């Protein structure tokens, strides 16, 4: 490209300009007055960035590339701003940043083998081992997956393979009808896994929950018969939702499973971002790792489960005639072939930042948010709010909010003027329906640079915008009260 044509000197000067651009960006996102995003319509955004969205045939010069990138950053959501909280992806801090840069520089393919990625294969091993220690497993296996949904897919796959290894060669026709049980509020990737694996979404049985905002004791899916274990599981399967981030009582479920169906025919797995020593597999964050481990199996067997399930022994990649222990050629355990090197950055999350201190700080901040929620007049005073670690969920005490059905076309996201980066400071926070309650806020306090003042600002924004949206509009006909029991 243009820089490499100019040789090393050209590259140095280009990188210097890139660093200036990055420092300017850093400076902006560290300024509390910076808006994390200004809503821009698709059309306006497309027009403003038309040059950056073009794919020219001829190479662009470096100045133009830099200027395009600068323009791109202007319109992108500034995830790193202190009050930004919509995405559960946290803002990066220096050490992971450094590691991401070096990852780009090395551009290693985690593809498959020790010889291609010697250092990173070892890093993956120690990181998975550390995660298993945190969970409480003495031994096991694991793989890094590109996100929680793929991790859930892995978990369902190894569960199926563990009980019915013939499925790998002969497919679902060769095995009895299988069922998955999960909470009716569980992450959608559970159903998606069933669809992908050829089990079908109908094979997923949804168990009722008793969360604080939407308690219920009846059986889900009364219209169709459920396997006997479903009734057993339903008794114990409580407080389990993706939005609220509740935990399953996995030890109790494991007891039911053993009593009801005999050991070996079921597999327990917690939700995407939690884990427990009673489970068979788990997904650990940060780093999108999925250490897997099969309880009640012989160590030899469970350690080989991912390999057995996913291994294809492609001899053009996984040659056996090597000078080292080829069990370190881990790629055959993956459902991917080439993989991006994600471990170098994941390790930093565990290593350089004092993970424990940071989580403690974020939980303190989440507690502060809970206290403020109770003391702010317009918000529900406590009974609509739940907290799990850094996650705080709450309803807003605006009359029209309470009487709205989910998805009725009302705008609930803060409405702001167009144009990037101008105007007063603002924030983003996720919202979603919860059962038959209207849009509900889910705030994940995940930025260690945030302070109590940023939390106050967030609440001020919610008060201000909910007043603008709901109290200043006339009543609309046809919007019935959808309030649940907690109302």
Strands of 430-434's sheet in order across: 386-388, 391-394, 437-444, 430-434
Restricted to residues 220-259, the positions that interact with a second copy (CB under 8 A) are: 242-243
- How buried is residue 346: exposed, middle or buried, by Cβ count under 10 Å (0-12/13-18/19+)? buried
| From 13-21, 208-216, 371-379, 479-487, span contacting a second copy (CB under 8 A) | 13-21
483 binds a second copy (CB under 8 A): no
Site size toward a second copy, by CB under 8 A: 170
Restricted to residues 104-143, the positions that interact with a second copy (CB under 8 A) are: 104-109, 111, 114-120, 122-123, 126-127, 130
| From 213-221, 256-264, 346-354, 380-388, span contacting a second copy (CB under 8 A) | 346-354
Restricted to residues 204-223, the positions that interact with a second copy (CB under 8 A) are: none
- Min dist CB 317 to a second copy, Å, is 7
Helix residue spans in 31-147 (DSSP H): 42-48, 62-75, 94-106, 118-135
- Min dist CB 3 to a second copy, Å, is 3
Phi then psi for 279, rounded to 5 degrees? -90, 170
What is the C-alpha to C-alpha distance for residues 242 and 271, in angstroms, rounded to an integer? 8
8 binds a second copy (CB under 8 A): yes
Provide the 3-class DSSP secondary structure of residue 343: helix
Kindly state the DSSP code that residue 265 receives in the 8-state scheme: S
Kindly state the DSSP code that residue 308 receives in the 8-state scheme: H
- Residue closer to a second copy by CB (options 298, 316) is 316
Restricted to residues 434-453, the positions that interact with a second copy (CB under 8 A) are: 434, 439, 442, 448-449
Q: Identify the residue among 45, 220, 461, 479 touching a second copy (CB under 8 A).
A: 45
CB proximity list for 210: less than 8 A, separation 6 or greater: 216, 217, 238, 239
Q: Identify the residue among 367, 371, 417, 432 touching a second copy (CB under 8 A).
A: 432
> What distances in angstroms separate CA 291 from CA 126, 282, 389, 459, one per listed residue?
11, 6, 22, 38
200 binds a second copy (CB under 8 A): yes
What is the C-alpha to C-alpha distance for residues 241 and 210, in angstroms, rounded to an integer? 10
Restricted to residues 145-184, the positions that interact with a second copy (CB under 8 A) are: 146-150, 153, 157, 167-174, 177
Helix residue spans in 295-414 (DSSP H): 299-303, 305-310, 343-351, 355-375, 399-403
- Min dist CB 384 to a second copy, Å, is 16
Restricted to residues 361-400, the positions that interact with a second copy (CB under 8 A) are: none
What is the C-alpha to C-alpha distance for residues 174 and 225, in angstroms, rounded to an integer? 23
- Min dist CB 335 to a second copy, Å, is 6
| From 205-213, 230-238, 337-345, 470-478, span contacting a second copy (CB under 8 A) | 337-345
73 binds a second copy (CB under 8 A): yes
Size of the chain in residues: 487
- Residue closer to a second copy by CB (options 255, 351) is 351
List beta partners, residue 393. 386, 442
- Residue closer to a second copy by CB (options 125, 255) is 125
Binding mask 179-198 for a second copy (x = CB under 8 A): --------xxx-xx-xxxxx
The DSSP line for 113-158 is -TTTSHHHHHHHHHHHHHHHHHHT-SS-EEEE-SSHHHHHHHHHHH
What is the C-alpha to C-alpha distance for residues 302 and 297, in angstroms, rounded to an integer? 6
Binding mask 290-329 for a second copy (x = CB under 8 A): -------------------xx-x-xxxx-xxxxxxx--x-
| From 68-76, 260-268, 371-379, 472-480, span contacting a second copy (CB under 8 A) | 68-76
- Min dist CB 26 to a second copy, Å, is 6
């Amino acid at each position: 490209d243009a820089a490499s044509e100019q040789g090393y000197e050209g590259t140095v000067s280009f990188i210097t300009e890139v660093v200036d651009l990055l420092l300017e960006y850093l400076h902006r996102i560290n300024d509390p007055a910076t808006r994390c995003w200004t809503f821009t319509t698709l059309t306006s955004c497309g027009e403003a960035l038309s040059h950056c969205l073009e794919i020219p045939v001829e190479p662009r010069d470096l100045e133009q590339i830099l200027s395009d990138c600068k323009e791109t950053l202007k319109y992108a959501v500034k995830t790193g701003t202190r009050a930004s909280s919509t995405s559960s992806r946290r803002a990066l801090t220096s050490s992971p940043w450094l590691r991401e840069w070096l990852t780009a520089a090395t551009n290693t393919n985690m593809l498959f083998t020790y010889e291609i990625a010697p250092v990173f294969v070892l890093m993956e091993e120690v990181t998975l081992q550390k995660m298993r220690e945190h969970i409480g497993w003495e031994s096991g296996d694991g793989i890094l997956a590109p996100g929680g949904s793929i991790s859930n897919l892995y978990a369902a796959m190894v569960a199926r393979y563990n009980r019915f290894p013939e499925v790998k060669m002969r497919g679902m026709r060769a095995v009895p009808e299988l069922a998955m049980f999960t909470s009716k509020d569980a992450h959608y990737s559970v159903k998606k896994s069933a669809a992908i694996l050829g089990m079908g979404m109908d094979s997923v049985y949804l168990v009722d929950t008793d969360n604080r905002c939407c308690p219920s004791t009846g059986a889900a899916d009364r219209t169709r018969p459920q396997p006997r274990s479903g009734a057993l599981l339903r008794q114990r399967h409580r407080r389990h939702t993706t939005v609220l981030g509740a935990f399953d009582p996995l030890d109790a479920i494991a007891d039911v499973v053993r009593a009801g169906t005999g050991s070996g025919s079921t597999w327990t797995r917690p939700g995407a971002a939690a884990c427990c020593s009673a489970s068979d597999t788990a997904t650990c964050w940060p780093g999108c790792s999925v250490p897997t481990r099969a309880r009640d199996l012989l160590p030899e067997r469970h350690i080989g489960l991912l390999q057995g399930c996913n291994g294809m022994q492609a001899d053009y990649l996984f040659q056996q005639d090597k000078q080292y222990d080829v069990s370190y050629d881990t790629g055959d355990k993956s459902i991917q072939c080439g993989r991006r090197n994600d471990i170098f950055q994941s390790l930093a999350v565990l290593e350089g930042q004092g993970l424990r201190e940071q989580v403690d700080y974020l939980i303190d901040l989440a507690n502060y948010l809970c206290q403020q929620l109770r003391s702010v007049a317009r918000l529900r005073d406590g009974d609509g709010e739940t907290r799990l670690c850094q996650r705080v969920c709450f309803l807003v005490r605006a009359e029209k909010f309470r009487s709205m059905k989910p998805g009725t076309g009302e705008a609930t996201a803060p409405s702001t003027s167009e144009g990037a980066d101008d105007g007063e400071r603002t924030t983003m926070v996720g919202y979603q329906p919860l059962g038959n309650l209207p849009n509900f806020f889910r705030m994940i306090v995940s930025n260690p640079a945030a302070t109590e003042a940023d939390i106050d600002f967030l609440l001020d924004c919610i008060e201000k915008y909910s007043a603008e949206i709901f109290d200043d509009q006339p009543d609309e006909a046809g919007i019935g009260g959808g309030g649940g029991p907690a109302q």
